[in-house]
Structure 1
Amino acid sequence: MKSMPHIASRVLNKPLLLEPGYARTFFSALAPRLGIMELHDAEGTILTGEQMRMRADRFTSTRERNRPYEVVDGVAVLPVSGSLVHKFGHLQPYSGMTGYDGIIARAAEAFADPEVLGVMTDNDTPGGEVAGCFNASRKLRELADAAGKPLWSLCYDMNCSAGMALASSAHRRLITESGVAGSVGVVMAHTSYEKYLEEEGMAVTLIHSGARKVEGNPYQNLPEDVLARFQSEMDTLRTDFAQLVAGHMGMTQEAVLATEAATYRGQAAIDVGFADELVNGLDAVSLFAEHLSAQGRTTTIGLNMDPNKTQAETPETQGPAAGTETPAPTADTATLQAQAASDAQARIKGILNHAEAEGRSATANHLAFETTMSVEDAAKVLATVPAAATGAADMSTALDRHMENEQQPEVGADTGGGDEEPDLAAQMLADFNEATGAKA
């Protein structure tokens, strides 16, 4: 203890958001400096001093992630690697750690950069400190919505626990086939020197005022009532963690809690709802860049009723084969097409114009154009996202800015015969009708 009092104060008797396997390695590595002779976990596993040294020696970083901030085809890539810590004081990942303060500082600069169209966090972290984590997660989503730019995350190769909290703030989460996500839970460690002090013939007397002033001190075993209180605090913190993750990702809190802090690899993470798409990590940035570019190439985005179709496969971008004529739609087909377009228009308008969309434009656009979520469900998700401060940033979306720079087809829309300018959803409906031959 006396050799590293500052480190001990940050890791002992403090809740940590760490993947369990990494937690064992973490405390094994610190054991010689903190005088820890044994390591116990909830499963009853006991590691002695020599076993802990062997575990720590076997741990090596698989990838060096300390690279400078990059902008590739309009995508700002923010590395997030190693243990996550509060008030680290370093802008970049450094010495196996990344600070929440550095992540937010880099993200704020990236979202304010006019050359950046979207931001991607490149995650390889087992988690870290609770302090500052939830605030950082909410701030990332707030910055994205204030700038009107999409935020994506890449699990390459791990975003567990505190890393999962940060990844949840993204509008879309990518994962590699070997990537590991999850561990929505909390862990706390307590060390006791009581037996060692007895064997050495030493006694420590703590003079204090206040019954709980010295709870969790390292000179005595943890009393049952203190253990119970610590456990209650961990359960409450896990519930708060699940609520944060569920709100950002559109899941229910019950579904997140049901994972019991398990971790999931690749496709399994997608199946449980912790990731959206399986990708080759080397293609992630180009995939995001292509998505950003596609936003400015069509005015009918969001009318694709099949979420499994790519933009290239939608009716708006498909043309007739060479030498063939496009068959005119039948009356029934035209009616169905018109109804589908009308329903899509109403849904998009309902989400974008909903009161909960105020100050959350990026999230509202994502829910309206890239999901099939109902207006009611979208409003529930928007309500969990912090609204951006009024006047803090340009609230126009990336889609709005791209559309302003595009030559739009001069197609009239049925606006009821008035002189008002057609809104975005009405214009989208008109474009859809022109492309399909449907009659509104």
Structure 2
Amino acid sequence: DEARKMFAEKVARYTGLSVDAVMATEAAVYDGQAIITTGLADGMVNAADAIGVMAEAINSNKTGGTMPELSAADAVTQENQRVMGILGCPEARGHEALAQMLAGQPGMSVAQAKSILAAAAPADTTSTADRILALEEAGGRETLAQTLAAMPEMTVEQARTILAASPIAAATSLHDAV
């Protein structure tokens, strides 16, 4: 019933009828002169002329709408606040690449971005170097593993292959062998 009332208020606002008069129509369908008589339309136009009449009405209406005009500086400020709100929100921590992608989407609000970022799977914060050093294949090859981990372009899979193909370092003492 609330939706019906809201619709009737909109119709009343644009037709000049009272809300009660709109509600009294009981959502009836009107044809021809009957719709003009009820006050729901200003006139009738045949289908062939309808596009021209609508275009004329749009072109003659130079004012309207409820969006305030923004200066370029205000628009830039709002956009910067939106982008920084997305990039700087706590939900972006650990999801920086996703946050940057969301901030670059026109129309993406801070609230929408926060929801998406919060739902994203936790980012793996273990460094590539730490993952290389933790490989099972690094056992007995720690020096080589450290060298591979220090190489900027080395991936975990490349290091795994190299370590697996390398001989295990010989124990220097009985204690090292045990």
Tell me which interval the TM-score lies in, with the shorter structure as reference length.
Answer: 0.3 to 0.5
Structure having greater relative contact order (Cα 8 Å, sep ≥ 6): 1
Structure (1/2) with the larger strand percentage: 1
Structure (1/2) with the larger helix percentage: 2
**TM-score normalised by the chain length of structure 1:** 0.15
Which has the larger Rg?
2
